[in-house]
Amino acid sequence: MVFHRESHRFVEIDEAKRIVAAVPAFVSRVGVFVDPEKDEIYQALALLLLSTVQLHGDETPDMIRRFRPLRIIKALRTDRSELELWKRSIANGEVDNLVGIILETADTGVPGGSGVANDWEAIAALQSEGTFEGLPPLILAGGLTPENVGDIVRRFKPFAVDVSSGVESGRRQKDREKIEAFIKAVHKADHDIAKHHHH
């Protein structure tokens, strides 16, 4: 649930409450924020019992530590020096509540999902250099669709993928068939990777 007012996917707390009421047990409830005030997060937390918070602004390792014991997913740019900074903070034991990082398209100026394709070549270079080692699990985003996600999963073997625009039929409208096709493509890629490991 997106709590960033500038996003066209923004939800008011009352709407979010209705969404949460419809969610089955054991499904993670993630709140997406951009440079939030601490009390903004705690208000959403108190009303919605979020499992995880996803941050898409310029939040620092220090800010993330202050949100303990909340679990945080942080969107980072595909940028070596930014990734190294986070890696140092983790190595120093400064942020133990960071559970995942989302690699966003570097410079669209739109925080939190632009539907613009990521720089896959840059990510491949960072991955082969071992830049992601010592960071939490990698979640890939940026222009993913049912058509291209299989190749991306096979190429990078990320922990997870993140999609929004790529499975919408219209503004704020998720398309059931596109979601099913997306999930099927990911499962098939996972299966291919597993099969490959056995040989």
Q: Is the pLDDT of residue 108 over 60?
A: no
Q: Per CATH, which fold does 13-143 belong to?
A: TIM Barrel (3.20.20)
**1-37 tens-digit pLDDT:** 999 998 889 999 999 999 999 999 899 999 999 999 8
pLDDT of 149: 96
**58-97 tens-digit pLDDT:** 999 999 998 888 999 999 988 899 999 999 999 999 999 9
pLDDT of 14: 93
Name the residue ranges covered by the structural domains of the chain: 13-143
Burial of 121 (0-12, 13-18, 19+ CB in 10 A): exposed
**137-173 tens-digit pLDDT:** 999 998 999 999 999 999 999 999 999 889 998 888 8
Burial of 71 (0-12, 13-18, 19+ CB in 10 A): middle
